[in-house]
Amino acid sequence: MPRRNGPARRPQRRKDVPHGPGGAPGGSFRCAGCRLDVPLAAPGTAHRNHCPHCLTSLHVDRRVPGDRRADCGGRMVPLSVTVRPDGEWLIIHECRSCGALSANRIAGDDNALALLRVAVRPLSDPRLREDAFLAL
């Protein structure tokens, strides 16, 4: 199915945030879930914050993406998937240690099977058949 992209949008802002160990600048980061070494260059996004293989992220930003002011540092797991009006998918992450939520656009090389498993999780709930469709 072709993407319904509208007119050309503005390019994404570059963010110079440290990704290396101990706050050092680096070209890659280590996934907190599967230990994959993830390069920062990603197709389709300039703001990669999660592992393309297991979609795990790290709680380092507080209010503004890239501010590096969170003192939690916990592991963030994908909670659900939402869609922007223009068709872009966003992953909603939940911090497993403090419960904070954050949203990030998916990248072009994100694991499609992992994304789809998160997306169909509500629909695979057995209780959905009993009450939701009967209520329509």
Partner 1 sequence: MSEYIPPSVLRTETFDCLRCGLTVTAFAPDGARRNHCPSCLHSRHVHDQVEGGPSECRARMAPIAIAVLRDGRWMIVHRCAGCGELTSSPVSGDDNRLILVRMAVRPLAQPPFPLETFADL
> In whole angstroms, how close is the CB of 7 to partner 1 at the nearest point?
18
Report the interface residues with partner 1, using CB under 8 A: 1, 3-4, 62-63, 79-83, 87-89, 92, 94, 100-103, 106, 112-113, 116, 119-123, 125, 127-128, 131-133, 135-136
Of the pair 22, 108, the CB lying nearest partner 1 is at 108
Burial annotation 67-105 (CB, 10 A radius, 16+ → b, else e): eeebebebbbbbbebeeeeeeeeebebbbeeeebebebb
Of the pair 24, 123, the CB lying nearest partner 1 is at 123
What separation in angstroms does the CA of 67 have from each of 60, 63, 136? 8, 7, 44
The count of C-alpha atoms lying within 13 angstroms of the C-alpha of 109, restricted to the half-sphere facing its C-beta, is: 14
Residue type, 106: I
Of the pair 30, 92, the CB lying nearest partner 1 is at 92
> In whole angstroms, how close is the CB of 17 to partner 1 at the nearest point?
18
Of the pair 25, 108, the CB lying nearest partner 1 is at 108
> In whole angstroms, how close is the CB of 94 to partner 1 at the nearest point?
8
CA-CA distance, 60 to 36, in Å (whole number)? 18
Identify the CA nearest to 64 among candidates 43, 49, 86: 49
> In whole angstroms, how close is the CB of 119 to partner 1 at the nearest point?
4
